[in-house]
Amino acid sequence: MNILETPSDRLLEAVRSLLAAKGHLTTDEIAERIRITDGGSPAQGARMVARAWTDPDYKALMLRDGTMAAEAMAIPMRGLPPLGVLEDTEAVHNLVVCTLCSCYPRAVLGYPPFWFKSAAYRARAVRDPRGLLGEWGTVLPVGQKLRVVDSTADYRWMVLPRRPAGTEGWSAEQLAAIVREGDMIGVTIPTAG
Amino acid sequence: MMLAPGTRVRVKLDWPELRGPCHIRTPHYVRGEEGTIERHLGDFPNPEDLAFARPAPIRALYHVRFAPKPFWPEGAAPDELVVEIFEHWLEAA
Amino acid sequence: MKDELPRAMHDMGGVSKFMCDPVDTEPHALNDFDKEVDAIRQLLGMKKLMSVDEMRRAIEAIPEEQYLRMSYYQKWMRSITDNMLSKGIFTEAELREALASQDGAKL
């Protein structure tokens, strides 16, 4: 049998022990890395969106340089791919996909969700995106252009959704609480709840 | 030479997949299609070489916009499709 | 049309056979295996032992019927192992020995 077809939990145990025995990594390093990665979550991206909704200068920075905008919110970006931000407007709705693998703005949204990695999502986003949005019950206003961004190379992309009606006078914290993972990829649209 | 926003380009109709092991970041569905340069995103080592740990020349990366309605016959495609494409996959349209 | 192009199997944009598949929009929590594989991938990148593109290339080399059956992080684990072997970080004999010692420990 091809050794690569060994059950993956057994491969993990063996590879971990070999890498440790050869001094390449330690179990402490792995635990630390898991802890740091678990710290990334859609709440980070939601804080950026809420600030962009309340601070025009920050919004301008976010659209010009997403990496700097994330760093301005104390989100660590060093050594990570550059972050680009796609602005939704009355005229245009953005949807992000990676048809080749699963490129995802992990620094600001955390681990990619199951659906984002699925063959169905990757195939349908570029060919039948309005049908795909129906899986979430999302219907775009008539006349709004749908722009799909296939994240194929060195950038990672998040969507800056439109601020929903009925949120006038809300604080950045209140606004951040209504922004979900899917809103920042474009499969859903935030509402005042 | 840097391609300016608005420049019309064609993605090369090439299939390195037929020539042997490779790692390509240009999706099959845009190959041979015409699009418009939206902007230069930056310069990055060519992933086609990085994938094999070969010395990787730095290449310009562009956001290229396509009008994909004719790509698929049934016409449910998005109004616009934007893809990151490296300079060596682009030719004048 | 597009379906007749000689695409690689991971190059899935617009591929007809997936167009009628529903999307499972429910959250799926990562398990301990998933998180550890993710962490090891990051560490190997930080230590310059394996680039993201090397990792992707070895995932793309998985035969299609296995690619479509394996979980996301099972594919990562296989690619990591493939890369460590091909880059000489450890040998196949060492890997076989480590796997055999697991069997020994369980007897």
**pLDDT one-digit tens code per residue, A33-66:** 999 999 889 999 999 999 999 999 999 999 999 9
Q: Which of C2, C51, C53, C82 to mutate against chain B (most B CBs within 10 Å)? A: C53
Q: Are C16 and C8 in contact (CB under 8 A)?
A: no
Domain annotation covers residue A190: no
Query: Residues A63-76: pLDDT tens digits?
Result: 999 999 999 999 99
Residues of C in Cβ contact (< 8 Å) with B73: 1
Q: Which amino acid is at A173?
A: E
- The Cα C41–Cα C46 span in angstroms is 9
Non-local CB neighbours of C73 within 8 Å, separated by 6+ positions: A8, C30, C33, C34, C37, C38
CATH of the domain spanning B8-92: 2.30.30.50
Residue B81 pairs in a beta bridge with A148, B66
Tens of pLDDT, residues B25-59: 999 999 999 999 999 999 999 999 999 999 999 99
User: Which residue in chain C is spatially nearest to A9 when comparing CA positions?
Assistant: C33
Beta bridge partners of B37: B64
- Domain range for A19: 7-38
**C105 pLDDT band (50/70/90 cuts)?**
low
Catalytic residue among A8, A101, A118, A171: A101
Reported as a pLDDT band with limits 50, 70 and 90, residue B73 is: confident
- Residues A113 and C98: their CA atoms lie apart, in Å, by 33
Q: What is the pLDDT of residues A142-152, one digit of tens each?
A: 999 999 999 99
Q: Rg of chain B over CA atoms, in angstroms?
A: 14
- Is A156 found in the same domain as A107? yes
Which of A10, A124, A133, A156 best tests the C interface by mutation, with the highest count of C CBs <10 A? A124
Residue A118 among the catalytic residues = no
Residue A103 annotated in active site: yes
| Structural domain boundaries in chain B | 8-92
Q: How far is C44 from chain A (nearest CA, A)?
A: 8
- Structural tokens at position B34: 């015409």
* Residues of chain B with C-beta less than 8 angstroms from the C-beta of A151: 84
Q: Are residues A59 and A148 in the same domain?
A: yes
B9-33: pLDDT as tens digits: 999 999 999 999 999 999 999 999 9
The answer to whether residues A121 and A28 belong to one domain is: no
Interchain CB contacts (distance < 8 Å): B and C? 49
Indicate yes or no: CB of C102 within 8 angstroms of CB of A115: no
Q: Pick from A14, A102, A136: which is nearest to C99 by CB?
A: A14
The CATH number of C32-106 is 1.10.472.20
- One domain for residues A92 and A138: yes
CA-based nearest distance B85→chain C, Å: 15
Kindly state whether residues A122 and A33 are assigned to the same domain. no
**Residue A13, in any domain of the structure:** yes
> Which pLDDT band, with edges at 50, 70 and 90, does C106 fall under?
low
Q: What's the complex ipTM?
A: 0.96
**Does a structural domain hold residue A75?**
yes
Same domain? For A52 and A130 the reply is yes
